[in-house]
């Protein structure tokens, strides 16, 4: 069991190394695109730094939502020549940064509200089932001529 965990940790280190290598290659080959992506994904990077849960679920949601909103600005910067001026033009547009950061905020909000909503739905389903079972119990007690137990 310990060997399997050690191998899993080794694989995670290799993945981190490869991700760092890919980020370095992006920064070397297309620095303006790396700068734009880094600035647009800043909320996701902060979530990645502060998320202490195993698997980093909050950071993954924030980054996923922000990446979905980053496609259009990154493509626009790519199509306009990949220069630093086009990256800065995208960053200075309040609609671009507002959209991407709002999407990241929506990802964070989803991670905070989804557990509460699921708990409420499960509690409502549990109460409805308990009510149906009590009604069935009372019906059977009446049919069999038994005394109906009082609920607490």
Q: State residue 20's pLDDT score.
A: 86
Distance CA 92, CA 64 (A): 22
Q: State residue 36's pLDDT score.
A: 94
User: What sign results for the dihedral spanned by CA atoms 83, 84, 88, 91?
Assistant: positive
Query: If you average pLDDT over every residue of the chain, what do you get?
Result: 89
Q: Are 103 and 120 in contact (CB under 8 A)?
A: no
Task: Please report whether residue 150 resides in a domain.
Answer: no
**How much of the chain, in percent, has pLDDT values that exceed 70?**
91
Q: State residue 82's pLDDT score.
A: 83
Q: State residue 28's pLDDT score.
A: 87
Task: Please report whether residue 9 resides in a domain.
Answer: no
Task: Please report whether residue 38 resides in a domain.
Answer: yes
**How much of the chain, in percent, has pLDDT values that exceed 90?**
66
Q: Which of 90, 91, 92 is nearest to 76 (CA)?
A: 90
Q: State residue 147's pLDDT score.
A: 82
Of the pLDDT bands very low, low, confident and very high (cuts 50, 70, 90), residue 148 is: confident
Task: Please report whether residue 105 resides in a domain.
Answer: yes
Give yes or no for residue 93 having a pLDDT over 90.
Answer: yes
- What mean pLDDT do residues 86-93 have? 92
User: Burial code of 8-35, b = ≥16 C-beta within 10 A, e = fewer?
Assistant: eeeeeeeeeeeeeeeeeeeeeebebbbb
Give 8-55 pLDDT, tens digit per residue. Answer: 555 567 888 888 888 888 888 889 999 999 999 999 999 999 999 999
Task: Please report whether residue 25 resides in a domain.
Answer: no
Give yes or no for residue 131 having a pLDDT over 90.
Answer: yes
Q: Label residue 39 exposed, middle or buried (CB < 10 Å: 0-12, 13-18, 19+).
A: middle
Q: State residue 1's pLDDT score.
A: 57
Task: Please report whether residue 126 resides in a domain.
Answer: yes
Domains held by the chain: number: 1
Q: State residue 7's pLDDT score.
A: 58
Between the alpha carbon of residue 10 and those of residues 3, 16, 37, 97, the distances in Å are 10, 10, 28, 37
Task: Please report whether residue 20 resides in a domain.
Answer: no
Range of the domain at 53: 31-144
Q: Are 104 and 44 in contact (CB under 8 A)?
A: yes
Residue 41 CB neighbour total at 10 angstroms? 21
Q: State residue 49's pLDDT score.
A: 93
């Amino acid at each position: 069991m310990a060997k399997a965990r050690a191998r899993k940790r080794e694989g995670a280190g290799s993945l981190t190394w490869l991700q760092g290598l890919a980020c370095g290659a992006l920064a070397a080959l297309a620095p303006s695109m790396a700068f734009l992506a880094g600035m647009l994904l800043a909320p996701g990077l902060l979530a990645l730094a502060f998320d202490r849960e195993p698997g980093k679920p909050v950071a993954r949601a924030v980054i996923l939502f922000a990446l979905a909103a980053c496609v259009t600005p990154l493509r626009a910067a790519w199509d306009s020549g990949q220069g630093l001026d086009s990256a800065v033009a995208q960053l200075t547009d309040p609609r671009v940064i507002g959209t991407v950061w709002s999407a990241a905020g929506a990802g964070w909000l989803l991670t905070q509200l989804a557990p509460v909503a699921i708990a409420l739905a499960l509690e409502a389903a549990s109460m409805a089932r308990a009510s149906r079972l009590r009604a069935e119990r009372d019906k059977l007690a009446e049919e069999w001529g038994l005394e109906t137990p009082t609920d607490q």
